[in-house]
Amino acid sequence: MRSLSLLLSWITAAVLAQAASVEAVAPRSGPWLILSPDGSGEVGIVLRAPIPDLTLVVGQQHQSPTIDGLVARWRLPTVPEALEVHWPGGTLAVPHLDANQTDLRLAVTAGRRWPDTAELERLGQALGGPVQAVLCLDPTQAINRRLGQSGWEPTIPILAAPSGPTRYRLGALALSGIAAAAALDLAWTVVVDPVASFDPGILAGSADSDLQRASASVAGARAQQAVLLFTRGSGCSVLTDPLTVTKGRVESQAEGTRLVVVGGAGDPPQRLQPEVARWAESPVTIGLSANAQELTLLALAGADPLWKQTWSHSAPAPTAAGTSPEHAQPATRPSLPSAESPTDHDSKEKPRAPSAIPDGGWKAAAPAELIRLAELPWSDLRALHLVVTPPLELVERAATDPAAARLLGRLTADQSWFNEGRWPELPPWVMRECILRDLADPLTCNPGKWPDLAAEIDDLLLLKVLVRNARDKPGILPILERTIAAMAAGRRPVPRDPYDQLHLFGAVFDSPHLSPTPLRPLALALRGQVAELAQGPLERFITHWGETRP
């Protein structure tokens, strides 16, 4: 009996040891598939430990990988549909694209944004089916730094963006590298240009935030009659009006090409030019779906659609159902319920003149009318002269009606209705939009006319914008000084992120443009009360100017 017990113990130990051995050699993550525009591809996995006899099964052939540390890669000149990674302890199927699909659903990512599995699942639900591929606008090296971190890579292939502007007929984009690529032509043209030279984010250079830098890319996209032009950003995502190029300048025009800057991280823009229709106030996941009848561009903030643009062959002009994410911050605009976002497929019809606004004024205007006006290219909307003073009825309605908020945000581009006496009546998020629009024109921008409330409201996005622009516009520094005074007095909180603290205090306490006398008590009050990373500007100031005035 004892011998039988020892035999069973030995068998159990052997089985457990074999299972542990198999686990030890199994890949840590992957496999992934990266498809390049030229039809080539890369398969890769991350290993736990070196695996002997690791191969990629391509048809009847077994190919050995190139090993770089614990990453194994295979380069393929063409990519068949069926691929497997094989080793003595197991086999893993490589993700692939279905050559028989009749529609297309893509996630588009770039910069600091790499989606996780839950985000792609929510995007698929919003687009009407699972995401079939992820288009990454970063170079392949940047893709490789993120691979295996999110869990979806073994099931969804990755499309590597080209190095320069490239035109795609959707369908061929998703089926890049597959022999049946020409079998699906959805007749929607988009241009992918990872380096279109326009990046509005606060991490970009000041010159990069000028939309005119994208003139060559926009002209190229218009020449190819593209509906959309995608480019990557440093962290801010924006959607422009339909654009065209006239005499070398980018302008809005109803039949133009919309430019989508894919940043995704939720950074604010440095400034908002009139032709920029929307920007993402929080991190977003951007997706694209296409079939024979419709093309849809969608940006999700969590589970809520932030942008939704739809093009139809029956009514080719873009239509929209605009929403904004709902936050608890006072500087947030209202949001549309995602399930009830209206879509106007009759957008080619010109909007009615202002005199056609109902007798009840802005309060009585139908939401569909407000959305239609908000969707006009800025050149057409400005020509209507809808407001010459702050539209207080629209401001009041915008507190609860997302359609009114959408139009109000667009109308902030009309600098003619700024009136210092009416500033305090504007909601904080409208004030932020007005300041962003004012910053877009360096010739007329005057921070001195901004209200004191700009320094008091607890709006981190606006604070980041002011800190970024203070480098080029010293007139913003007194506003930041008052902001720090409000923090020292407890009227508004200090930013929680140590880097936000560092940037704010560095801009003010290291500035040669401000008098040290009013700054001294602020530095002493905040000393030791902020993150260690942000102590440097305070200590430098106190060391240089002293704790008391000589």
Distance (Å, rounded) from C-alpha 97 to C-alpha 177? 10
| Per-residue pLDDT, 169 | 64
Distance (Å, rounded) from C-alpha 17 to C-alpha 420? 77
CB 342 within 8 A of CB 332: no
CB 144 within 8 A of CB 161: no
Residue 528 one-letter amino acid: G
pLDDT tens sequence across 298-351? 999 988 888 899 998 764 444 444 433 333 333 444 443 333 333 433 343 444
Three-class SS string for 242-263? Answer: EEEEECCEEEECCCCEEEEEEC
| Per-residue pLDDT, 445 | 86
Q: Is the pTM of this model over 0.95?
A: no
Distance, CA of 169 to chain centre: 23
Residue 112 one-letter amino acid: R
**Which fold is adopted by the domain 104-313?**
Purple Acid Phosphatase; chain A, domain 2 (3.60.21)
Q: Concatenate the DSSP letters of all residues of 288-346 into one string.
A: EEE-SSEEEEEEEETTEEEEEEEEESSS-S-EE-------SSTT------GGG----TT
pLDDT in tens, the chain (550 residues): 555 565 455 455 444 444 444 444 678 888 999 988 777 889 999 988 888 889 999 888 899 999 988 899 999 998 887 899 999 888 999 998 776 667 889 999 987 888 999 999 999 999 999 999 998 888 777 777 788 778 899 999 998 887 777 776 665 444 443 333 333 455 788 888 888 789 999 999 999 999 999 999 999 999 988 899 999 998 999 999 999 999 999 999 988 999 999 988 889 999 999 999 999 999 999 999 988 788 999 999 988 888 899 998 764 444 444 433 333 333 444 443 333 333 433 343 444 444 445 556 788 888 988 988 998 999 899 888 887 677 888 888 999 999 999 999 999 888 776 666 677 778 889 889 999 999 998 888 888 888 887 888 889 999 999 999 998 899 999 999 999 999 999 999 999 999 999 999 999 999 999 999 999 999 999 998 899 999 999 999 999 999 888 7
DSSP 417: G
The DSSP bridge pattern shows strands 276-279 and 285-290 to be: unpaired
Within 10 Å of residue 138's Cβ, how many Cβ atoms? 21
Residue 339 one-letter amino acid: A
Degrees to nearest 5, angle at CA 41 with 36 and 43 = 135
Burial class (CB in 10 A: 0-12, 13-18, 19+), 115: buried
Distance (Å, rounded) from C-alpha 45 to C-alpha 490? 52
Q: Which two tokens stand for residue 19?
A: 């299972």
| Per-residue pLDDT, 499 | 95
Angle between helices 477-488 and 498-509 (to 10 degrees): 120
User: What's the sign of the alpha-carbon dihedral 20, 24, 26, 29?
Assistant: positive
In 3D space, the residue among 467, 407, 509 whose CA is nearest the CA of residue 267 turns out to be 467
In 3D space, the residue among 436, 484, 490, 493 whose CA is nearest the CA of residue 459 turns out to be 493
Q: Which residues contact 490 (CB under 8 A, 6 or more apart)?
A: none
Q: Concatenate the DSSP letters of all residues of 479-515 into one string.
A: HHHHHHHHHHTTSSPPPSSHHHHHHHHHHHHT-SSS-
